[in-house]
Structure 1
Amino acid sequence: MMSNIDIVRAHYAASAQGNIDEMMAHVSPQVRWTEMAGFPCAGTWVGPQAVAENVFAVLGRDWIGYRFELQSLIDGGEHIVGMGSYHGTYRATGKDMQARVAHVWHLRDGKVVAFEQFTDTLLVRQAMSNE
């Protein structure tokens, strides 16, 4: 069985390849996935299908080259923290964005049961604004 930090590392590797199936491979059917208020996909999504449709599909549709660059992982056992940066160009405005982000993962029995994102939503919103 993979360690919790290896599961998160594998998610990020699959994300870099755009492989949704592999990204969701170790996600619980009841996962509670929270995107920060003010973020384009804000809300708490329950289940891998809801996450794929309301987060990853939206980011892929609305952003050009949207990606997360991992800088470090902090191993807290059942809780893993991924630190890095978001990058992308908002399709509707053509504006680039880069924002620091922290992801807090909660894993139990080899499955992601919760995820919470913390990022500078102002930088994201500025890229989305026509002003």
Structure 2
Amino acid sequence: MTNPQLIIQEHYAASGRGDLDGMVAAFAPDIEWTEMAGFPYAGTYRGVEEIREQVFGRLGGEWDGYEAVPEELVSVDDHVVVFGTYSGVFTATGKHMRARFVHHWTVRGGQVVRFEQFTDTHLVRAAMLVDDGE
């Protein structure tokens, strides 16, 4: 069996390369992916294709230079917790965003079965808001 921490490190490395296939390579077919309430893409998505379209597709289509950079990984058994920073420019407003995150990953049998995101949703949404001229 592959080390859960290595599997998650490989996900972030693929993300850094812009390699979507590599990002989802270790995802279980029935993976459950939860974006935090208040986040622009909030909700729970199930299955690789739904995550590709509703999360990664939207991030790639609506943001320039969007990154999720891991800075520290903590691994216990099947669980990996990642502390890092999001950044990018929302294309519709041209506003830059930088927000800290915590990701909780669950890996079983060499496959990612669950993901849950925690972040400052206000900072992300602020970059998406059009100034009203004030």
> Which category of TM-score, normalised to the shorter sequence, fits these structures?
over 0.9
Q: Does 1:53 align with 2:53?
A: yes
- 1:63-93 CA-to-partner distances (Å, cap 9, x unmatched) read 0100011110001111100110000001011
Count of aligned pairs between the two proteins: 131
1:8-44 deviation per Cα after TM superposition (whole angstroms, max 9, x unaligned):
0000000001111111111000100001111121110
User: What secondary structure does 1:69 align onto?
Assistant: strand
Partner Cα separation in structure 2 for residue 22 and residue 69 of structure 1: 16
* 4+ residue segments displaced more than 3 Å: none
Alpha-carbon separation, structure 2, partners of 1:18 and 1:37: 26
Q: 1 CA distance for matches of 2:56 and 2:77?
A: 26
Pairs within 5 Å for 1:9-88: 9-88=9-88
How far, CA to CA, are the matches of 1:111 and 1:78 in structure 2? 10
Give the letter for the 2:49 counterpart: Q
* Helix, strand or coil at the partner of 1:49: helix
Instruction: Give the structure 2 partner of residue 123 of structure 1.
Output: 123
| Structure 2 portions without partners, runs of 5+ | none
Secondary structure (helix, strand or coil) at the match of 1:23 reads helix
Identity of aligned residues (%): 48
* SS at structure 2 position matched to 1:67: strand
TM-score, normalised with respect to structure 2? 0.95
Q: Which structure: larger Rg?
A: 2
Structure 1 residues without counterparts, runs of 5 or longer = none
Paired residue for 2:7? 7
- TM-score, with length taken from structure 1: 0.97
Secondary structure at the aligned position of 1:21 is classed as helix
Instruction: State how far apart, in whole Å, the 1-side matches of 2:67 and 2:7 are.
Output: 19
Tell me, in whole angstroms, the C-alpha distance in 2 between the residues paired with 1:82 and 1:51. 19
Matched to 2:84, the amino acid is G
Distance in 1 separating the partners of 2:107 and 2:25: 13
Tell me the distance in 1 between the aligned counterparts of 2:48 and 2:79: 19
